[in-house]
């Protein structure tokens, strides 16, 4: 039996503000217990499970983050887990103008149990990529699948490769010249964790094992590098696959977004 409470404790201790090189153009600033991530498409706030402030003092901490990014003309997101304290943090974020997204499921897997040789559909080739042209293709793929502007994804991957190439693995599955699935892994030095991100399969290729194949490949690389645990903030689409692969749910996470007023 896996001790999920121990996994949660490890997650809280190591993955709230994980170490590692910030991508080029990104800076980290601290305001008391929280860390601001500045320089991306939106600001990000990362915090411990309990920031140690409540009531009006917590309201002021929230307002300072909102106002900081408003002065920059940018939006900001605050990531909250279901077990965070104080219990009224979500309500106080909403009162400050933040809007919650749909929750994600936080799952942890044991890398050695997930690692395997990837099994790919016939005609599909898996490559590890770092070239800018390939990373732009990944951004375009994400844009097509999710109907978003994927340029910031490509920019982020390029910056990570430039800044700390040893802390990221980027995979692309291709059928001929078509990108059919993408995924990447971030290695957090000094922790047990690898964060698995970007797992996205083209609609017409779903149900053929591509997500699972890229999961197995990333887990295998994690084991080779000496990492024990895999972390995913999973969508409703990917969470069932991860559970079938042996991942364990430890909590949920919700991004609360604040957007500058129109015309600012």
Q: What is the pLDDT of residues 195-237, one digit of tens each?
A: 999 999 999 999 999 999 999 999 999 999 999 999 999 999 8
Angle at CA of residue 11, ends 243 and 187, nearest 5°: 85
SS3 of 34, please?
strand
pLDDT at 264: 62
Whether the predicted pLDDT of 21 surpasses 90 = no
pLDDT at 100: 98
- The total of other beta-carbon atoms located within 10 Å of residue 88's CB is 12
Whether the predicted pLDDT of 19 surpasses 90 = no
Per-residue pLDDT, averaged over 110-139, amounts to 97
Give the model confidence (pLDDT) of 59-105 as tens digits. Answer: 999 999 999 999 999 999 999 999 999 999 999 999 999 999 999 99
| Mean pLDDT taken over the chain | 96
SS3 of 232, please?
strand
Per-residue pLDDT, averaged over 167-172, amounts to 98
Per-residue pLDDT, averaged over 183-188, amounts to 97
pLDDT at 263: 67
Give the model confidence (pLDDT) of 116-126 as tens digits. Answer: 999 999 999 99
Domains and CATH numbers, the chain: 4-104+253-258 (3.40.630), 109-252 (3.40.630.30)
How much of the chain is in helix, strand and coil states, percent to nearest 5?
35, 30, 35
Three-state secondary structure readout of 68-113: HHHHCCCCEEEEEECCCCCCCHHHHHHHCCCEECCCEEEEEEEHHH
Per-residue pLDDT, averaged over 98-113, amounts to 97
pLDDT at 164: 95
């Amino acid at each position: 039996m896996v001790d999920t409470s121990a996994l949660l404790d490890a997650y809280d201790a190591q993955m709230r503000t994980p170490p590692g090189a910030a991508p080029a153009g990104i800076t980290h600033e601290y305001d008391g217990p929280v860390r601001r991530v500045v320089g991306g498409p939106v600001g990000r706030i990362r915090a411990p499970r309990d920031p140690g402030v409540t009531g009006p003092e917590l309201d002021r901490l929230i307002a300072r983050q909102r106002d900081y990014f408003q002065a920059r003309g940018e939006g900001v997101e605050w990531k909250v887990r279901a077990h965070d304290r104080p219990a009224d943090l979500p309500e106080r974020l909403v009162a400050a103008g933040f809007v919650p997204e749909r929750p994600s499921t936080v799952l942890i897997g044991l890398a050695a149990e997930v690692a395997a040789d990837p099994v790919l559909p016939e005609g599909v080739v898996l490559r590890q990529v770092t070239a800018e042209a390939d990373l732009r293709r990944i951004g375009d793929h994400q844009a097509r699948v999710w109907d978003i502007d994927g340029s910031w994804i490509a920019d982020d991957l390029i910056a990570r490769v430039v800044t700390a190439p040893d802390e990221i693995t980027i995979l692309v599955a291709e059928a001929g010249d078509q990108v059919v699935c993408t995924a990447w892994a971030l290695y957090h030095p000094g922790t047990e964790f690898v964060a698995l991100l970007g797992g996205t399969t083209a609609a017409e290729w779903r149900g053929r094992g591509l997500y699972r194949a890229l999961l197995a490949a990333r887990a295998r690389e994690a084991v080779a590098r000496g990492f024990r645990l895999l972390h995913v903030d999973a969508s409703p689409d990917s969470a069932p696959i991860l559970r079938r692969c042996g991942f364990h749910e430890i909590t949920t996470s919700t991004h609360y977004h604040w957007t500058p007023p129109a015309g600012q």
